[in-house]
Amino acid sequence: MRFHMKEDSVPDITVDTVRFQGFENGAIIYQAPIVSYLNFFICNNTVIVPEYYNDRLTDAEKLKDENVGKIFGELFPDKKIVRLNPLPLNFAGGGIRRSFISEPKGIVTPKSPVK
């Protein structure tokens, strides 16, 4: 996806020396989110699919987003397709799938060692 850049300034680098190494305090930085339509999640009767289009993007981007929704509808005809804008998650380096943690059905205990 294009046009999802975020402009920010470097905070006090003494607080976050690893992330902002090589920058000076107050320097302008541009962040690009990690985006992908493949970062979807299937749960029960629903598929949660990214939806990146907003009114600041081009008509081509809108068409691409609509086509993705149609493709998922064809791939999962018996499931409800829910569109979600994951940009806040993407800017943090995550996505829809990483937001859901699978919970095991029960407690798994190791078997006795084989003799």
pLDDT at 110: 64
- Of 12-26, 30-44, 82-96, least confident by mean pLDDT is 12-26
- Of 50-64, 67-81, 96-110, least confident by mean pLDDT is 96-110
pLDDT at 78: 96
What are the DSSP E strand ranges found in 1-115? 6-9, 28-31, 41-43, 46-50, 80-84
Domain residue ranges in the chain? 6-99
CB-CB neighbours of 41 under 10 Å: 17
Tokens of 4: 């999802």
Instruction: Select the more confidently predicted residue: 80 or 31.
Output: 80
DSSP state letter for 81: E
Average pLDDT over residues 1-13: 58
pLDDT at 14: 60
pLDDT tens per residue across span 65-101 = 999 999 999 999 999 999 999 888 887 777 887 777 6
Q: How distant, in Å, are the alpha carbons of 62, 103, 104 from that of 107?
A: 45, 10, 7
Closest CA to 19 of 29, 5, 34: 29
Q: How distant, in Å, are the alpha carbons of 3, 68, 106 from that of 44?
A: 33, 20, 18
